Structure 1
Amino acid sequence: MRLFFSCLFLVSFLNVFSQEEMAPATEAPKVKIDSLYREDQFYFAITYNALNNAPEGLSQKKFSAGLSFGFLRDMPINKNRNVAIAAGLGFSYKNYFQNIAITGTSDAPIYNVVNYSNVNSNKFTQYLVDFPIEFRWRTSTYESYKFWRIYGGIKFSYVLFDRSVYKDSEQKVTIKNNSDFEKFQYGVYMSAGFNTWNIYAYYGLKPLFKSAKTTTESIDMRTMNIGIIFYIL
């Protein structure tokens, strides 16, 4: 009888030991991916507006400011949802201080490069509706809103309203909806940064004017906007 109980105790001990040895290791927790996570965002940009490919003698002595704002709809294209395409709608205000005097009328404007010393004020302003389409890469997750991003794409714009103001000691000329301005604009852009603060650059691929000319050459200027852009969820 004593031998029987000894064998039974030995079998039970070996069985417990075997179960402890064969217990599977605990699996590492899996990272959750929210299948509905998107980076739909409002944006707001502040820029300096430079004029490229300008006629001889043109200069910009004052700060030419620009403002843009709008909304972008995010459409992820990979499983981790950190690569996406976005499309949106926005509005822009662009102001250009420079020394090309625009006189005459909206249907028959006249362009002359003038000396700044003889000018009290000279600028032209545009108000545009924007349609950006961009490719997006970021390090975000649905649990973290602080991440690195690189966004780039193309922006189509339509000039809703434009105005130029030229003022010297003898006259003040205001022209609205100049027929020489290209109504339809487009260009490429890129933004990059971390969290809220991001640098932004846009280059217009289409000239600002259709066929405007000074007394010596055609005006084939394009715009370059450089500044910062904020994204708000």
Structure 2
Amino acid sequence: MHIFGAFFLCLINYLYWAMRFSCILIILMFSSTFVTGQVLESNRDLDRKYLEDQFYFGLTYNFATNLPADVSQRNLSYGLQAGFIKDIPLSYERTMGIGIGLGYGINSYYTNLLASQQGSDVEYTVLDSDADFKRNKIATHVLEVPFQFRWRNSTSEEYKFWRIYTGVKLGYVFDGRSKYVSSSERIIFVNKDIRDFQYGLTLNVGYNTFNVHIYYALSSLFNDGVMEQSGEVIEIKPLKVGLIFYIL
């Protein structure tokens, strides 16, 4: 009986500590699961909060379309643009979204259409092909507001992906000048005939770093009714083609 009682007491003691250990183990397992779940949920939330392509820089060649008769482009007409775009995802996977931004653009248009001041007016004449001049251009400094519909196959961990961004770009020309330079004279003045408010369609397509940028103006470079000396209305519309680079 003494042996049985001692055995029974040892068994009871063993079961007590075994149950206590089991309870502690179960509590630790639940705690670990809860913490792990919180971390996974946090990581999931983090993955769903990444943004793409918020800063941009672009370089373009500027074509002057819809030129008057006998007017042609000369030299290298170029454009530079840079700015910030707020990325606003529309889909849960964040592959669809819109972008609204603010930027700054510099543009030049080299042609043989000479602008000269005549009192308070500006007169436009076509320079002969044998005219001796170094450069003749229209230069603009523009405050730009791009609006884009965006598609990309990116993830929070993938930085190389395809993108297609299309939309419109609004621009306010806060400085527009005509500049003519020859061996004998230099003429620079603020040209009030340049349209203040300009707008056009944009398309950006590419993979990773290099992306093709296209801008087609829906508005004329000059105000309505501006004519060259022959009486033909000047309705030049810029077409810009080049590269654009995006940075997070």
Length-normalised TM-score, structure 1: 0.82
How far, CA to CA, are the matches of 1:209 and 1:195 in structure 2? 36
My pick for the range that moved more, 206-215 or 130-139, is 206-215
1:15-47 deviation digits (Å, cap 9, x = unpaired): xxxxxxxxxxxxxxxx95722121142100000
Counterpart of 2:243 (choices 208, 228, 232) is: 228
2:136 is the counterpart of 1:94: no
Change (3 A) 1:40 1:148: closer
1:134 aligns with 148
Q: Is the 8 A contact 1:105 1:175 kept in 2?
A: no
Q: Is the 8 A contact 1:127 1:159 kept in 2?
A: yes
How far, CA to CA, are the matches of 1:228 and 1:187 in structure 2? 17
How far, CA to CA, are the matches of 2:129 and 2:51 in structure 1? 50
Change (3 A) 1:175 1:116: farther
Larger relative helix fraction: 2
2:211 maps to amino acid: N
How far apart are 1:106 and its partner, in Å?
Answer: 8.1
2:180 aligns with 166
Unmatched tracts of structure 1, length 5 or more: 1-30
2:17 aligns with none
Q: Is the 8 A contact 2:181 2:187 kept in 1?
A: yes
How far apart are 1:168 and its partner, in Å?
Answer: 3.7
2:208 aligns with 195
Q: How many residues align?
A: 202
Change (3 A) 1:208 1:106: farther
Determine which structure has more spread, i.e. the larger CA radius of gyration: 2
How far apart are 1:208 and its partner, in Å?
Answer: 0.8
1:87-126 deviation digits (Å, cap 9, x = unpaired): 0000000011110000015831100111242141211100
Q: Is the 8 A contact 2:88 2:99 kept in 1?
A: yes
1:173 maps to amino acid: I
Q: Is the 8 A contact 2:214 2:239 kept in 1?
A: yes
2:125 is the counterpart of 1:112: yes
Unmatched tracts of structure 2, length 5 or more: 1-42
Change (3 A) 1:93 1:205: same
Counterpart mapping for 1:39-50 below 5 A: 39-50=52-63
1:209 aligns with 222
Counterpart mapping for 1:134-153 below 5 A: 134-153=148-167
Runs of 4+ in 1 over 4 A off after TM superposition: none
Change (3 A) 1:37 1:144: same
Q: Percent identity?
A: 39
